[in-house]
Amino acid sequence: MEKTKLIATLCENKDEIKQIEEFIKSGIDVIRLNMSYSNKEVCERLINLINEANERLNTNVAIMLDLEGPCIRTDTFIGGKAFLNTGDKIRIYMNEINGNMTGFSVNYPNLVNDLKYHTKIKLSKGNVILQVTEKGLDYVVCSVLKGGEVSDNSKIYLPETRPNRKFLTEQDYQDILFADKMGVDFLGVSGITSAEDVLEINDLLIELKNEHINILAKIENKNAAEDIDNIINIADGIILDRGDLGIELPVETVPNIQKRTIHKCYEQGCLIIITAEFNSFLTKKSVPNRAEVSDLSTLVSEAIDAIMLTSETTVGAHPIDTVRIVSKIIKESESSIDYNYFFKNSLNEKQKSITSTVSSSVVLGANELDCKAIVVATNYGRTARRISNLKPPCPIIAAASRKEVVKSLQLHFGVLPVIAKGDTLDELTENVKKELEHTYKLNKGDKIIITGGYPFKKVTHTNFMQIDEI
């Protein structure tokens, strides 16, 4: 089992049933559906297919729904695209038109009021750059600083402008209601600029009485990066979108933002997920280059929680091969993780509790005794999350009786969540131990540590640890 979790993005395609099964068999922990390029009808069908595959394969792969966020996009172009020439002037209209090389419209009518003179606008993943030179009542005139091709519904990046608009759009609101209805496990929230945006999503989930969905805040612009401390305090996890960050900000600043974000997530016990950068897979190639492999290996050695594949498994030519190759790289790279370093740093947390103290003792014991596994009997997953943050070198088997708890743990480093039957702690742990002996082929004399709350299902904190020898 790889400790670093893997997320793959799925879209509608002719081989989707096969692709879902192959994703699961290849070790995918979470399947992501992107509402920026899909709709509720398609996603409902895909969610049902994922659930059916889980039943057939006896697995518990979780589902992430990624919201589009308050995204500003171009409208359509004549012929689906246009080429903007460097040095030309171009108009951006607030009222919808069919665009061409001289002008196009956007889906955000208030953009003309938000933009200031000489501010820059980026399109086509930053390959096209415009600069505002003139403003009218319902249009802006821009100079094309860097020309290139722009297509229908291209995302618009505003690195120097903070749009004055409501964060929660009607589409996102409806998509959250849909996620609640379909039992989605994780919500990827795009377009965040501050902790207040995360609170808005959190408040809606409270209104829906949904305590299951985990909020994953995407850091993809300068404002979010500057408010990262407050965002981490509210969100369940952080998705660092290095692609969009490299468009919004000078590319040389992204590595330092990445390091700081990883460190802050460790300090606060917050999930840290980072997008992969495998441009090789977006072509017909099925093998990454050395720089891409080295980048992924470095991330894995930092003991982050998960890697997220986006366009690599949607528009890429070899989605299943991509997952298999990335899994191999992760497995090989995990041998370079300095577990003792992460354990010592995690012990410095400011807030102490019975659960955190017992969890620290469990990992210390597992390290000193070279235990083959840590078995956590958990009702809500809190202890498994805490032990995951301490980065033990052995697997953390999180045994829970509810499928919702199992799925909520799918993104945590080193955690293998399983559904275990048993009305008492002894029954549950015995069932898990039998499965362990079969799955991991434990040998006589191998040690495991069992931890949880006693009396089972009657206490809300972890208060014991037990060392067993096979």
pLDDT at 357: 85
pLDDT in tens, 187-198: 999 999 999 999
pLDDT of 1: 78
Report, as an integer, the average pLDDT of 143-168: 94
Mean per-residue pLDDT over the chain, rounded? 92
Reported confidence tier of residue 148, pLDDT bands at 50, 70, 90: very high
Q: How confident is the model at residue 212 (pLDDT cuts 50, 70, 90)?
A: very high
**For residue 439, is pLDDT > 90?**
no
Write out pLDDT tens, residues 45-71. 999 999 999 999 999 999 999 999 999
Largest CA distance in the chain: 79
Q: Read off the pLDDT band of 85 (50, 70, 90).
A: very high
Q: What is the pLDDT of residue 398?
A: 93
Q: Tell me the per-residue pLDDT of 233-284, one tens digit each, with 9 for 90 and over.
A: 999 999 999 999 999 999 999 999 999 999 999 989 999 999 998 887 877 7
Residue 97 has pLDDT above 90, yes or no: yes
Average pLDDT value for residue range 85-92: 97
Give 326-380 pLDDT, tens digit per residue: 999 999 999 999 999 998 887 765 556 777 888 889 999 999 999 989 999 888 8
**Cα dist. 284→15, 23, 319, 322 in Å?**
18, 19, 11, 11
Distance of CA 106 to the CA centre of its chain: 28
Domains, in order of start, for the chain: 5-70+167-334 (3.20.20.60), 78-151 (2.40.33.10), 340-469 (3.40.1380.20)
Task: Say yes or no to pLDDT of 458 above 80.
Answer: no
| SS3 (DSSP) at 9 | strand
Least trusted range by pLDDT, from 167-181, 223-237, 449-463: 449-463
pTM (2 d.p.): 0.94
Buried b (16+ CB within 10 A) or exposed e, 390-400: bbbbbbbbbbb
Taking each helix axis from N to C terminus, what angle separates 354-369 and 339-346, rounded to the nearest 10 degrees?
160
The predicted structure's pLDDT at residue 351: 58
User: Quick one: tokens of 203?
Assistant: 């408040």
Task: With a cut of 80, say whether residue 401 has pLDDT above it.
Answer: yes
Q: What percent of the chain has pLDDT over 70?
A: 97
The pLDDT confidence band at residue 111, using thresholds 50, 70 and 90, is: very high
Residue of 362, 364, 359 whose CA lies nearest to 382: 359
Measured CA distances, 130 to 48, 93, 101, 110, 113 (Å): 43, 14, 13, 18, 17
